[in-house]
Structure formats: structure tokens, C-alpha cells
Structure 1
Amino acid sequence: MGRKRVERLMREADIAGVSPRRKGFTRRDPKATLAPDLVNRDFTAPAPNRLWVTDLTMISTGEGPLWLSAIRDAFSRRMVAWETSARADADLVLTTLEYALASREVEPGKLIHHADHGCQYTSIKLTTRLMRAGVEASMGSVGDSYDNALAENLWMLIKTEGIRGRTFTTRAEANLALFEYIDGFYNSRRIQERLGFLSPIEFEEKYYAEQATAEPTNLNTRQPLLTS
């Protein structure tokens, strides 16, 4: 079986071959307080907005690196927010989080935000914002692709389906290519076997439609019988 066929079958099944990170992508702050790993490589969720995974990756351009920060919902595999910058700093990941919180209905205490130990994710800016939003921080280890495999899988899809073989003269060109792939294709039209051959948006719509038609649970408190 040829390499291209294997890659196609893996993409259709939403499977990524995990390889070591490129050295230098993740930097850890030795003085930072680390959150526990609440995920333990179990990237499943019972509903939207229960588990978000996030990470950074770099795209080369003629102007220098373009850093992509993204947040992916574990339930639907949807990219709920993404942002780019010339710098991989705490402001980039914080802006991505703000976009996600503004566009999704998040119940305090029910969402886990999973990242690695990179200094951007242990920054006071980000950890304070997560706390204010009632979101639990979770962290895998630095440089271990398996601890954040769902995010690594996303980078594989973007780089093989969206930008593979393309050369970008400017960061703006790369940004447009990302927009066309993420918003124009991946979220709305990229079907996945594990989603029942639906796109991430279609899978979420199906979930919410089923919830709307489900029989409501009787939450009324049982009243005591009155005797005369």
C-alpha cells in the first residue's frame, strides 16, 4: 500500500501518525505552577464544551514564521477558535481563548481546557482568565505528542490537506489559506468517520437537535401527601 493511500485512509478515519515535535516549539517556564493532567490521553467528551484541547504550531512564510493557535472541541472535533501572530506568546493563546469563550456557551465548572506545559499556557494571564470563566486547566507534558494527540491530529490535517506543498510569500497569504481551510472547509464540510460521516458543525447541530426533542426530565420535587 502506497504512502499517499495510507495518508488518505488515515485522514478519512481522523487518525494521525504521531511524531516527535520539532525542537523549540514548546518552552516551559521552570517557575510556573503546573495544572494536573485531567485528561490522561482520553480525548472523549459527552457533549460540546466539556473538553477543549489547544496548542500552537508554526507555518513558514517569506516574512518569517506565522504562529497558529487553535482550540478544538473534543466532542465534535470542531475548531471553536483560532488566531495567528508573528509571535508565539501568551497574548496569542489568550486571544484565542477569548474568541472561544465569546462564541460558545460555556457552563462554569463543566469545561476542561487541556494544553501542554508551554510557558504560554502557564502564564498568569491565561490561568487567571480560565479561573474567572470557571474553566478547569489541564496540562499534559512538554514535547509528548500523545499527551495532546487531538491537537497534534489537527495540525496534521491542516498541513496535509490545507497548506501542503504551498509556499507563502507573506503572513497574510498563509492566514488566508488557513481561513479557507478551517472556516471554509474543515468545520463545515470536512466529514469524519467517527462523527458518523458528518462535519463537525453538522455533528453539533445533530446533537442539539436531539437534545431539543428529548423528553424533559421531571425535576419537580415530590410533594408530601396531605391527609385530613
Structure 2
Amino acid sequence: GSQYTSFSFSSALRRSGCISSMSRRGNCWDNAVAENFFSKLKRERVYRTTYKTREQARQDIFIYLEIFYNRKRRHAGIGYVSPEQFEQEYYRKQKLAA
């Protein structure tokens, strides 16, 4: 990853109006959630499918995320319910507490 901290790369980012985003030095946990998500996306969808075009890939991944991952796929970290179910239950409890 040292190429991403190089002067030439950093200068190109600044010229383009971009801001670099990196984890803290020596802390592998900073990016763990994103790495875990992308690992699941690749394993469960991308590696099982052959896309003919980028647009086809984009549409398929959108459907995977919006229809399956967020609405149906059960996640261990939130009690084996889908993110949608978790969110609905959260707001239901908030209403009851108010």
C-alpha cells in the first residue's frame, strides 16, 4: 500500500479535488467491516456470476444488495435477522419507549 502514500499519488488526488482515506498505521481493525462486507459480496455473488458488461454487473450487484443482502440475508452480528428487520425492530422499540 505504500504507493498510496507516495508524493505523486497524493499530489494527483489533491489536483483532482479528492481526499485520501486510510486507516491508522498498524491498526488492521480500521477496515475490518468493509473488508468483511466485500468478502461476502464477492463470495456470495460476484465469483458465482459471469458478467458480459459493467452495466450488467452494476445492476446485478444492486439487486443483490437491495433485494437480498439488506432484506433477506440474515446477519450473525445483529441476531440472525436481516438489516431491514433489525431496523424495523429498532424503530418499533423507539416508538414504544417514547
Normalized against structure 1, the TM-score is what? 0.34
Amino acid across the alignment from 2:49: R
CA distance in 1, matches of 2:94, 2:74: 22
The structure where strand makes up a greater share of residues is 1
The structure where helix makes up a greater share of residues is 2
- The number of equivalent residue pairs is 91
Q: Which residue of 1 aligns with 2:59?
A: 176
Residue from 162, 165, 179 that aligns with 2:45: 162
Q: Describe the shift of the 1:197–1:212 C-alpha distance in structure 2 as closer, same or farther (beyond 3 A).
A: same
Matches within 5 A, 1:92-107: none
1:186 matches 2:69: yes
Q: Which residue of 2 aligns with 1:150?
A: 33
Identity %: 32
Larger Rg: 1
Asked if the contact 1:188–1:201 (Cα under 8 Å) also holds between the matched residues in 2, the reply is yes
Shift of 1:121: 4.0
In structure 1, stretches of 5+ residues that fail to align are 1-22, 33-88, 90-118, 123-137, 217-228
In structure 2, stretches of 5+ residues that fail to align are none
Amino acid across the alignment from 2:4: R
Normalized against structure 2, the TM-score is what? 0.73
Shift of 1:176: 1.4
CA distance in 2, matches of 1:202, 1:208: 10
Q: Which has the higher contact order (CA 8 A, sep 6+)?
A: 1
